[in-house]
Structure 1
Amino acid sequence: MEATRLTIQAKKYDGRPHYSWEGIVLEQTETFLIVANTPGRTLHHHQREAIYTYDNYSLEFYPLDADFTVGLDVELTGEATYYCNICLPPVLQGGIVSFIDLDLDLVYRNGAWTVVDEDEFLENQQLYQYPVELIERTRTSLLDLQQRIAEQQFPFDGFLDAFIPTVLQMNRGRNA
């Protein structure tokens, strides 16, 4: 059976493309998507007009009813680093899932969660003229995500860990 491929588009608040890449759908429900990538995937950075190639495995979670996404860079050992975008809820239309990136990110590396891109969030408030309600929603979404993680709520309850072995097996037959 052929794997279902999907295009992922991160956009800025004005709707302009920011990043785009393709992934392989592992699971799709009415409320979320789980997407995987293998080494050699490319990411198009539209603002820089550049294409980057990644040599890692990744697992991505797109809730269609929440203000975040979750990306895991997966090592061959099965260990993962997390990168969560604060965004407007992802939208699935046809073979494309897109979301409006609201700049703030929550990253798990070396045993600690850290908020990054605060400066970008402040800059883009001015550049894109974020309404006050959007700024408040973004801050609240970050706090909600931090609480979800602290309380080990879905999908931070081990749910995503079950997909890591599947992701690591995806490229094995092709490189032999």
Structure 2
Amino acid sequence: MRDVRVVYRKYDEKLHWHQWMRLLGEDQYGVWLGAPANSVSQRGSEPEVTHSQAHVQLFPRDKWFTAIFNDEPRQTEIYCDITTPVEFGEDVFTMIDLDLDVVKRRDGTIYIDDEDEFADHQVKYGYPADVIESARTTCDWLATAVATEEPFLTAYKTHLDKIR
């Protein structure tokens, strides 16, 4: 297994979240990366954040989101970022974070986060109409899919087992 650099940027190309993760494989849902407990990530040039639990991340091909699946006991079970489709380099995966997030708590609660930021950035960065439409359509789909469809139900659990 090799390590891959994950780089999220904002629409103005400013560095957002980034970290190194282990390549776990690819299936019909996309490419899976994992990070063991005590791995680190960083937002821009802010101090690193240490993650006490393992997590895996799904990078679908040609879709407008990425998904993080957190190990127990973390309260957030699934965290989906609405993004531009991932650009898959040999050692770096990059995408543009489009602000909207779909979050599923471990108790089953699902909510959409950062709609205010999405609205502000549409104006600030001049998101094109097709980007706004793709982001909103994906967000609306995910708000239901995280509770009803794979890979959000059980498929991710085998990848979590690999990285623990």
Q: TM-score, normalised by structure 2?
A: 0.88
Any conservation in 1 of the 2:76–2:103 contact (CA below 8 Å)?
Answer: no
Would the alpha carbon gap of residues 166 and 30 (structure 1) be closer, same or farther in structure 2, given more than 3 Å must change? closer
Structure 1: which 4+ aligned runs deviate by more than 6 Å?
Answer: none
Following the alignment from structure 2 to structure 1, what is the Cα–Cα distance between the partners of residues 144 and 28? 24
Any conservation in 1 of the 2:5–2:18 contact (CA below 8 Å)?
Answer: yes
Higher relative contact order (CA 8 A, sep 6+): 2
Aligned to 1:6: 4
SS of corresponding position for 1:140: helix
Which residue identity is paired with 1:37?
A
Following the alignment from structure 1 to structure 2, what is the Cα–Cα distance between the partners of residues 164 and 30? 17
Which residue identity is paired with 2:84?
L
* 1:65 partnered with 2:65: no
Deviation at 1:165, TM superposition (A): 2.0
Following the alignment from structure 2 to structure 1, what is the Cα–Cα distance between the partners of residues 29 and 58? 11
Following the alignment from structure 1 to structure 2, what is the Cα–Cα distance between the partners of residues 5 and 25? 6
Aligned to 2:14: 16
Any conservation in 1 of the 2:31–2:60 contact (CA below 8 Å)?
Answer: yes
SS of corresponding position for 2:93: strand
The partner residue of 2:110 within 109, 113, 129 is: 113
Any conservation in 2 of the 1:56–1:75 contact (CA below 8 Å)?
Answer: yes
Deviation at 1:101, TM superposition (A): 0.6
Aligned to 1:167: 163
Any conservation in 1 of the 2:4–2:21 contact (CA below 8 Å)?
Answer: yes
Structure having the higher Rg = 1
The partner residue of 2:52 within 52, 55, 70 is: 55
Aligned to 2:33: 35
Residue segments in structure 2 that go unaligned for 5+ positions in a row: none
Would the alpha carbon gap of residues 76 and 130 (structure 1) be closer, same or farther in structure 2, given more than 3 Å must change? closer
Aligned to 1:143: 140
Any conservation in 1 of the 2:111–2:143 contact (CA below 8 Å)?
Answer: no
Aligned to 1:88: 84
Deviations 1:93-137 (A, max 9, x none): 120011111100000112111101111111211221112222122
Aligned to 1:174: none
Count the aligned residue pairs.
Answer: 163
Q: State the Cα RMSD in Å.
A: 2.2
SS of corresponding position for 2:161: helix
